[in-house]
Amino acid sequence: MAEPRRVLHVGRGAAGFQAPGEGAVVLGHCDYEPPLRLLASGADAAGPQDHWWTTGAPPAAIEAFDDGQGLGWRSDSEWTFGRLQLPESAASAGNDLEALSHAAYTRLFAALAQAGTPQLLRLWNYLPRINQEQAGLERYRRFNLGRQAAFQQAGRSAFDGAPAACALGCPGPADGADGPGASGCSGLTLYFLAGRQPVTPVENPRQVSAYRYPSRYGPSAPTFSRAALADLGSGRTGLFISGTASIVGHETVHLGDVRAQTRETVTNLRTVCEVASQRAGRCFAAEQLELVVYLRHPADLDAVREDLAAALGADSPALRGAIFVQADVCRADLLVEIEAHGLPR
Ligand code: 3EB
């Protein structure tokens, strides 16, 4: 008989979080700050390190790896959480973000094989100056070239079945925030959550799949699914919703109107929840999601929070647990992007 699967939990809080039962071991957490800047958090969110991925596996079962060159992960052999940080410097192939993202993803895939957890659930991508041009192409589009090529060369689908993800921009050294001290964003930063079993991808019928975006958004499409459903063990299902924005079809809507963009984003989140609920046979409600809200302009915080509260309820778990961070969104005309987790508690 197969060994029982280890269970993945999320613990919440900045430190000393509410552990899910005794002996929970932390696999890791995503640092939203740095590389980004925390603007605000709801009453139930403790701060930027609000989601700690934990396991019930005994501490002795945890493998920890750090190659001393930016790649580190912890795994219980069922689940792996890690990060990869690649500085952008002369060493990184002529400062070309395409080569850098290709190298990053190639290293990531090798690390997942080494950990025995090849299936990606969720990726977080942070890169400096995401909307700036580099040799005639926006850096986000260069990043997409390298990412898609790495998926294909590794024999992974860059289309249907791609993991859930987000891609956000942070200020780079060239913006005057010199070095990691000021912004922590001196290069490409990836966080990753992976497991042994493939996830169930979820798309949004209101939106063209991102991996099918037409070439006017760049020579290679972005590599992510709108959401991923994952069996977290013990009959628990988690929903990982990618960065979600004010896009209908493949087009940005409500140019320059952050409030309308926020409302459209909530409609997209609700739609993804509906599709995921049908697929999973359990209910994911937008009001119950754990939100990370990325704002291009810190001055928009109050307006966005107001519209989110109107849509989801000021006292909803979603609002009480939300964190708000400053980040550049990967399309220059997007003012807000929201990622979300629907997790069993
Ligand atoms: C969008 O819907 C907004 O490149 O990994 C959202 C989530 C977006 C993930 C990515 C980009 C990514 O196209 C941008």
Q: CA distances (Å), 12 to each of 18, 45, 46, 85, 313, in order?
A: 6, 7, 8, 24, 21
The single residue of 98, 138, 337, 339 carrying the catalytic annotation is 337
Residues contacting 298, CB < 8 A, separation 6+: 37, 39, 326
For the 7-342 domain, the top CATH level (class) is alpha beta
> What are the tens digits of pLDDT across the range 332-342?
999 999 999 99
Active site residue 78: no
Tokens of 23: 């002996």
Nearest atom in ligand 1 to 166's CA: 9
Q: Terminal CA-to-CA distance of the chain, rounded, Å?
A: 29
Residue 152 has a pLDDT of: 98
The answer to whether 280 and 229 are in contact (CB under 8 A) is yes
Give the three-class secondary structure for 137. Answer: strand
The total number of residues shown for the chain amounts to: 345
**pTM reported for the whole predicted model:** 0.94
pLDDT of residue 47: 83
Domain limits of the chain?
A: 7-342
Pair of tokens at residue 304: 């966005």
Query: Which amino acid residue places its CA nearest to atom 13 of ligand 1?
Result: 210
Ligand 1 center from residue 222 Cα (angstroms): 7
pLDDT tens for residues 276-312?
999 999 999 999 999 999 999 999 999 999 999 999 9
Rounded Cα distance, 259 and 112, in Å: 40
How far is ligand 1, taken at its centre, from the CA of residue 57, in Å? Answer: 33
Q: Tell me whether strands 290-295 and 71-75 are parallel, antiparallel or unpaired.
A: unpaired
Do residues 97 and 139 make contact, with C-beta atoms less than 8 angstroms apart? yes
Query: What pLDDT, on the 0 to 100 scale, is given for residue 27?
Result: 92
Residues lining ligand 1, judged by CB closer than 6 Å? 125, 165-167, 210, 222, 224, 242-243, 245, 247, 330
Ligand 1 atom having least distance to the Cα of 226: 7
CA of 133 to the centre of ligand 1 (A): 18
> From CA 49, how far away is CA 37, in angstroms rounded?
12
Q: How far apart are CA 235 and CA 158, in angstroms?
A: 29
Return per-residue pLDDT of the chain as tens, 345 residues: 345 578 888 877 655 555 555 567 889 989 898 899 999 999 888 788 888 898 888 888 999 999 999 999 999 999 999 999 998 864 444 468 999 999 999 999 999 999 999 999 999 999 999 999 988 999 999 999 999 999 999 999 999 999 999 999 998 765 444 444 445 577 899 999 999 999 999 999 999 999 999 999 999 999 999 999 999 988 899 999 999 999 999 999 999 999 999 999 999 999 999 999 999 999 999 999 999 999 999 999 999 999 999 999 999 999 999 999 999 999 999 999 999 999 876
For residues 229-253, one letter each, b for 16 or more C-beta atoms within 10 angstroms of the residue's C-beta and e for the rest, the string is: bbbbbeeebbbbbbbbbbbeeeebe
Mutate to test the pocket of ligand 1, among 97, 202, 224 (most ligand atoms within 8 A of CB): 224
Beta strand spans in 30-175 (E): 37-41, 51-55, 63-66, 71-75, 79-87, 119-128, 133-134, 137-138, 164-170
pLDDT at 14: 55
Counting from 1 in the atom list of ligand 1, the atom nearest the Cα of 339 is: 7
Å from CA of 288 to ligand 1 middle: 22
pLDDT for 17:
54
Q: Which residues of 100-186 form beta strands (DSSP E)?
A: 119-128, 133-134, 137-138, 164-170
